[in-house]
Amino acid sequence: MYKKTVLDNGITVVTESIPYYSTVSIGIWWKAGSRYENAGNNGICHFIEHMLFKGTHRRTAYDIAREFDAIGGSINAFTGREYTCLYARILRKDLDIALDIISDMRLNSLLSEDDIEKERYVINQEIKMVEDSPEEYIYDMFNASYYKGHALGMPILGTEKTVRSLEIDEIKNYFKDHYGPENTIITISGRVNHEACVADITRYFSGMSNGSAHKRKSIAPQPSIGIDIYERELEHVYMCIGTDGVSQVDRRRYMLYILNAIMGGSMSSHLFQEIRENRGLVYNIYSYVNCYHDCGTFGISTSSSQESITEVLRLIKGEIIRVRNEGITDAELSFSKKHIKGNLFIALEGSETRMGRLAKNEIYFGSYIPLKETLREIDSIKKSDVATIAREIFEDPDQISLTILGNVDRKKVEAVWKE
């Protein structure tokens, strides 16, 4: 069901044939994201993502939207820290139409000066929307503090200043250098024939010219540990707590996923049950795992009132210490494995998720990771494995970073976090 071909021009084509699907999901992925930017051009990948939709020599922005609407399909895009994706979902019979439009967007985007000037305003409105949403903005604040001085600490959207300063030639050159065939992966999931897909993609994308992304170097970050408080007049106080995790290519990530499910990755997790359900101190609280090429983080995020913030922090720290010292139970291990596998199976019911999984496997591993292998990895984890990873990441609670957005008493926060 899985097949891979590297075209003569360097594009990697990966397909997964699923005979019982009536829809097809296609994504064109580039190994380009905010991590590969610098302080001067921060936000350029996200800017390029927007510009792909602004029209080509053959189609206006309206034409692109109209042609997908006419077949009942959908098209969208997103920018991450280590990749950018333009993707569509259509009926199987309309795959050729989707390839025609997507290839046109990549090969023939106008990148006109007028459109770029208009989009500066649009993107700056998007930046302000995030800044007005503290539950989103807190993650940018945490990354800026934890990965201080490194590209992983920069916002994916860029800043108002950097977006305003991007020049048209700079955008065009970056697009040429980082979005070439050697940096491109096209993944398709659904009822498709691999050889036919390769032939069509060869026909549509043969005109791509090579870039220079292969020359770039990626430097692993050195986390900056501390307590960072960003004062703002808000009704609630928002916080993000984080420490070193593992990379996307480290098999210990499965151990971390299990720890995450137990601590705060579900409604029945320790943190949610104790702090939300039993004590009613927060509306929501959860933990999460972020994995990159060469590093990762384990984090906990929540918000509370100014009056309750110190008690919430004390309870979170208590849970961290408890898990580090006591580990987990057999029942918790069994529960978390079922939880993770159940989520995985449900997600893979959709062709979009399968298409994305193909791409991420190729980006990080250069090959396909069969679902059976993933399940074996999860099933093989022992209670002692989770205890080991918990001791490693929570070894010294003073080395766990805390970022707060809101109005708090710094001395009280520091006293609780360091006690």
d(CA 287, CA 294): 21
How far separated are the first and last CA of the chain, in Å rounded? 55
**Number of alpha carbons in the 13 Å side-chain half-sphere of residue 325:** 8
Question: In the numeric block, which tokens belong to residue 245?
Answer: 């995790």
Which residues have a Cβ under 8 Å from the Cβ of 132 and sit 6 or more positions away? none
CA distance 172 to 77: 19
Structure tokens at 166: 């991007």
Q: Cβ contacts of residue 139 below 8 Å, gap of 6+?
A: 240, 301
For 291, left (φ over 0), alpha (ψ -120 to 50), or beta? beta
Number of residues that this document lists for the chain: 419
CA distance 237 to 231: 9
The distance from CA 411 to its chain's CA centroid, rounded to whole angstroms, is: 34
C-beta separation of 404 from 238 below 8 A: yes
Q: In the annotation, is 395 catalytic? A: no
Task: Measure CA 371 to chain center.
Answer: 21
User: For residues 347, 349, 351 and 357, what is the CA-based torsion angle, rounded to 10 degrees?
Assistant: 40
Angle, CA of 340, 395 and 401, to the nearest 5°: 80
**Of 16, 49, 119, 319, catalytic:** 49
Q: How far apart are CA 216 and CA 177, in angstroms?
A: 10
Residues acting as catalytic residues: 49
